[in-house]
């Protein structure tokens, strides 16, 4: 039987698209006019609607006023943060924004600038040679994101005013009164619909104004903070040089040399650079273009970095300066510790985004390099003492980097695949697991270690005896240093790693105490250990974890009492205070192993009675410390001899 019913269509497949997408036509295209795009997507223009975006509104208006100063049309800027903590007025004594009618658009120039994206006088170099505002969107963006803006213009003997709400004018520009002088004052209140209840930070505003005053030598800035009833006048006649000193001091660094490189160039691109090497562990560059901070750097900052590296390498090659054998100097070594301020002014800067955090002009890198490199080379040639200090700083960085890298490689090769604690077998550990309450004594010799183990407080005191010879970490090959059993045991016992793998949180003891005999041999061993810690585990010293124990060298018995003296001088002071009638017995310890455990605890281990010397490197002596260790502990005997001779005047008695 034939089926004559109509053929059934296959079941319709359900579309995953919404009905709206199926009716997508030209009518669905939305055109945002005027300043609507800004309010719709504010993050595209100011980076976001959080605190940084809120403050960016202030920077835009302030930077417009600074542009008047940069181009020689103004000398003073006034900024007022009003009582509500949100409203700001920025005023300058520049030319004043034009208020006459624009010939093509039928609006006043003021209204056109404040209500239209990409409108302004900075596209024409006849009005502004250099400026931070480039796209003509800054003021109009602020207007769009403000619940109210009032522009007051003084120009041509009259004062004009226009008010806006959320980017739209309330009415035309009005002539308010006659007035002398000229200038622009912009008062705005950020819109709570965009920024919520956020308020402006007066400290951030003050810091921004400080930077502007540094970059524009002689510019006067008045900051009124009505939230705190304060008024501050800012003016830095020293300009970028003062800025450098302020930056170094604020970062609590010390300059490697008192002499500072300062470059000021007037031809295009206009440039000012101030820089100095410091004791900081990293480089620190602050760069600006047309007064705008470029927080992410860019081609101008890279050009400065290139110039520094090339100038140093050229100086080393030209003067045939000897670099320690096997030591390679990298660009990072050269720039380590450099603090620099770089301010340049460009006619056509190309920024990455409206927030202008990075400069992209490719040609600027070579221009800055070409301006800075010869100036830095000349500065090095002219200031030999400063150049020597800088080179010593660079060599110190290279040594530290090389030691850290090699140590890390060696430690990684030796590390087990598990994280199980691998302590030296000769370590007598303490039972307390709180590092802040624990201390380790690194003791010279098995006999002294035995006395220390018996006399210690087992709860908080660990003992690590050194049985073999300690190598000179400054002279021995790196491979040999890291293969040394005694030094390897120290690293394993401390547990904090070495070189760049150093982790303070893993340190097992917060007091690392070197306990050696009180004679010259003990001092020598302590010096060798300190050299190793300085070169390979310096954060221990910088963190204040390293100490020298002060065991007695003499035992003085008189009048039924016992006195302890750590050296001849202290012994003599004790004897001088004793009555003449006392019978005195003096014993000199040949080593810590001669002491009974109880005596060692009472004189050297007991936290209540002992004396410890904390090992520190004062900030101002870091370069000298590096020089002394290199000269005294290094391979060159002539250098060592000269260093010893230079200290001879301070030697009263020589123990040979």
Residues with catalytic roles? 444, 517, 519, 521
Do 290 and 345 meet the contact criterion of CB atoms below 8 Å apart?
yes
Nearest to 636 by CA among 341, 322, 301, 420: 322
Question: By three-state DSSP, how is residue 111 classified?
Answer: helix
Query: For residue 83, how far is the Cα from the chain centroid?
Result: 35
Rounded (10°) angle between helices 485-494 and 520-536: 60
Tokens of 605: 């281990």
Alpha helices by DSSP H, 47-108:
51-70
Tokens of 154: 């003084």
Please report the DSSP string for 478-521 in residue order.
HHHHHH-HHHHHHHHHH-S-SGGG--GGG-S-SEEEEE--SSHH
Q: How many CB atoms lie within 10 A of CB 50?
A: 13
Do 166 and 147 meet the contact criterion of CB atoms below 8 Å apart?
yes
Do 170 and 163 meet the contact criterion of CB atoms below 8 Å apart?
yes
Query: CA-to-CA distance for 588 and 377, rounded, in angstroms?
Result: 59
Phi, psi at 262, each rounded to 5°? -130, 125
Rg (CA), the chain: 36
Do 301 and 342 meet the contact criterion of CB atoms below 8 Å apart?
yes
Strands 546-549 and 511-515: parallel
Query: CA-to-CA distance for 351 and 579, rounded, in angstroms?
Result: 84
């Amino acid at each position: 039987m034939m089926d004559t019913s109509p053929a059934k269509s296959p079941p319709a497949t359900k579309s995953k698209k919404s009905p709206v997408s199926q009716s997508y036509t030209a009518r669905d295209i939305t055109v945002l006019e005027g300043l609507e795009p800004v309010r719709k997507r504010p993050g595209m223009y100011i980076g976001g609607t959080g605190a940084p975006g809120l403050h960016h509104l202030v920077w835009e208006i302030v930077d417009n006023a600074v542009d008047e100063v940069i181009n020689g049309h103004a000398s003073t800027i006034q900024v007022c943060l009003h009582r509500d903590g949100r409203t700001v007025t920025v005023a300058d004594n520049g030319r004043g924004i034009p208020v006459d009618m624009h010939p093509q658009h039928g609006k006043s120039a003021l209204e056109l600038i404040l209500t239209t994206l990409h409108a302004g006088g900075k596209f024409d170099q006849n009005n502004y040679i250099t400026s931070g505002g480039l796209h003509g969107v800054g003021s109009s963006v602020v207007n769009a994101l403000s619940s109210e803006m009032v522009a007051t213009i003084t120009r041509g003997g009259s004062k004009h005013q226009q008010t806006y709400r959320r980017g739209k004018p309330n009415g035309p520009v009005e002539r308010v009164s006659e007035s002398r002088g000229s200038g622009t004052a912009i008062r705005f209140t950020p819109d709570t619909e965009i920024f919520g209840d956020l308020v402006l930070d007066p400290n951030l505003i003050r810091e921004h104004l400080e930077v502007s005053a540094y970059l524009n030598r002689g510019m006067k800035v008045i900051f009124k903070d009505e939230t705190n009833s304060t008024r501050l006048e800012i003016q830095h006649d020293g300009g970028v040089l003062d800025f450098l000193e302020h930056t170094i001091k604020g970062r609590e660094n010390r300059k490697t040399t008192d002499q500072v490189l300062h470059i000021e160039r007037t031809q295009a691109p206009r440039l000012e650079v101030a820089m100095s090497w410091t004791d900081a562990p990293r480089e620190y560059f602050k760069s600006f273009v047309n007064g705008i901070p470029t927080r992410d750097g860019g081609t101008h900052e890279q050009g400065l970095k290139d110039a520094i590296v090339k100038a140093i390498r050229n100086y080393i090659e030209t003067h045939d300066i000897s670099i320690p054998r096997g030591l390679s100097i990298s660009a990072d070594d050269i720039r380590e510790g450099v603090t620099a301020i770089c301010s340049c002014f460009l006619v056509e800067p190309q920024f990455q985004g409206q927030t202008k955090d990075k400069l992209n002009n490719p040609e600027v890198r070579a221009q800055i390099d070409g301006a800075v490199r010869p100036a830095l080379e000349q500065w090095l040639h002219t200031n030999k003492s400063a150049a020597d200090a800088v080179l010593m700083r660079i060599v110190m960085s290279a040594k530290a980097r090389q030691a850290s890298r090699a140590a890390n490689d060696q430690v990684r090769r030796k590390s087990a695949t598990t994280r199980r604690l691998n302590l030296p077998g000769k370590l007598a550990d303490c039972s307390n697991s709180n590092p802040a309450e624990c201390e380790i004594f690194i003791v010279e010799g098995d006999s002294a270690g035995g006395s220390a183990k018996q006399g210690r407080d087992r709860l908080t005191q660990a003992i690590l005896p050194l049985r073999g010879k300690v190598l000179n970490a400054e002279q021995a090959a790196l491979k040999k240093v890291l293969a040394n059993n005694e030094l390897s045991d120290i690293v394993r016992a401390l547990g904090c790693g070495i070189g760049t793998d150093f982790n303070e949180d893993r340190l097992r003891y917060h007091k690392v105490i070197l306990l050696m005999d009180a004679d010259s041999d003990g001092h020598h061993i302590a010096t060798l250990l300190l050299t190793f810690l300085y070169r390979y585990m310096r954060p221990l010293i910088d963190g204040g974890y390293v100490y020298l124990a002060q065991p007695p060298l003499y035992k003085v018995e008189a009048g039924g009492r016992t006195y302890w003296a750590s050296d001849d001088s202290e012994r003599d002071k004790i004897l001088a205070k004793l009555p003449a009638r006392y019978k005195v017995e003096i014993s000199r310890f040949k080593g810590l192993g001669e002491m009974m455990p109880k005596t060692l605890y009472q004189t050297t281990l007991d936290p209540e009675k002992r004396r410890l010397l904390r090992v520190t490197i004062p900030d101002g002596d870091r370069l000298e410390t590096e020089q002394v260790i290199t000269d005294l502990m290094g391979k060159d005997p002539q250098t060592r001899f000269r260093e010893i001779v230079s200290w001879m005047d301070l030697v009263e008695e020589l123990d040979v």
